[in-house]
Amino acid sequence: MYTIKDVAKRAGVSVATVSRVLNGTETVREQTRRQVEEAIEALQYSPNGLGRNLRRLETKKILVVLSTISNQFHSRIVRGIEDRAAEHGYTVLIGTTRDRLETLLRYFEMIQTREVDGAIFMSTHFCKPEEADFLTQAYPIVCACEPMPDGRIPYVGIDDEQAARDAAGYLVSCGHKRIGLICGGKLTRDTYGSSYLREKGFRKVMEENGLPLLEADIFREGLTYNSGKRAAQQMVRQEGLPDAVFACSDAAALGLIRELYTNGYTVPGDISVMGFDNTAMSEVFYPSVTTVSQPQYEIGCQAMELLLARIAGKEGERRLLPHEIICRESTRSKKAKPESFAACTNVPISTSEA
């Protein structure tokens, strides 16, 4: 059975263009339309019948697209989405891409054939800017936590760059000078949106404080638990540990701490570690992890509110929610009162015991 992706490939056009032809959009050039129609006929492609019949009706279903369900950070956000959706009579379908483009395209097809009324994406590794532009104009779509680089799609999350600045600033206020970083891929918006912004904010603080950022102390392993373990394995082979490490996720921070312990190092005795997200595990882990807290449940609630507004035909918007630094056991101070950092940044800092 052929998909809309197969039609696009045969016709030599984008998936968005095929969708325009199927929906009868007048902006498609006649020659392009013929190419698409010929490809449809050759492949005997037929859009989902149920979706076609429901094209002008509500399904009362929305789709939430994640890269994986194993990320603990997503659970509270999904709970917020589900609670707000239930208040309005909507059912939530969960789809995982595992970072596979072909899987993602199948979810796009569900949106385009109106099998769901709209979608919330928690991963932005999905389409070219021009396709994103078309999709957000034609269909109700919202991003949560991971913004599109150019802001084309309505978004709710935190200011990741400022949050990273505050996290790095806190480590600097503790007296740390050599600070490492665990992040996603290359410093580009085309890979990890939030990780890009967090690295950007981190670098700015290091530069502003005249602190060296050694390339050997930047570990582009990703944001998972195993990413943190791999970073630790590299770290212990180097000449001396950094004073502290800022991990762009709690999962990576936990993996780092565990692997350092396996190699005979203690946290925070030998090195301070700071995470990001404030997942449940960051609190119960030993040592409990100093982290940047995101209002995960509220992000889910507001993402659903944005989607309901888009379903109702209203314009999208960008919402940034407040973050907070949670001080726990994984960081130590070389100064008497690092808490003074809160006063000079206006960032809430709280102390939480595991």
**Cα dihedral 150→187→232→277 (10° resolution):** -20
- Cα angle for residues 256, 258, 261 (degrees, 5° grid): 105
Share of the chain above pLDDT 90, in %: 51
* pLDDT tens digits along 164-217: 999 999 999 999 999 999 998 765 444 547 888 999 999 999 999 999 999 999
pTM (predicted TM-score) = 0.77
Q: Which CATH architecture has domain 1-46?
A: Orthogonal Bundle (1.10)
For 63, 133, 206, 288, 348, the CA distances from 166, given in Å and listed in that order, are 34, 32, 11, 19, 10
Token output for 181: 């970083």
pLDDT at position 345 is 45
The rounded distance, in Å, linking the Cα atoms of 27 and 292 is: 46
Q: In which residue are the tokens 């889910």 written?
A: 300
Say which CATH topology domain 160-294+323-351 has: Rossmann fold (3.40.50)
pLDDT in tens, 83-136: 999 999 999 999 988 777 777 778 878 887 888 999 998 876 555 656 666 666
pLDDT at 128: 60
Q: Rounded to the nearest 10 degrees, how much is the dihedral formed by the CA atoms of 131, 134, 139, 140?
A: 80
- The boundaries of every CATH 1.10.260.40 domain in the chain are 1-46
Residue for token pair 């997503």: 74
CATH 3.40.50.2300 domain position(s) in the chain: 160-294+323-351
How would you classify residue 127: left for phi > 0, otherwise alpha for psi between -120 and 50, otherwise beta?
Answer: beta
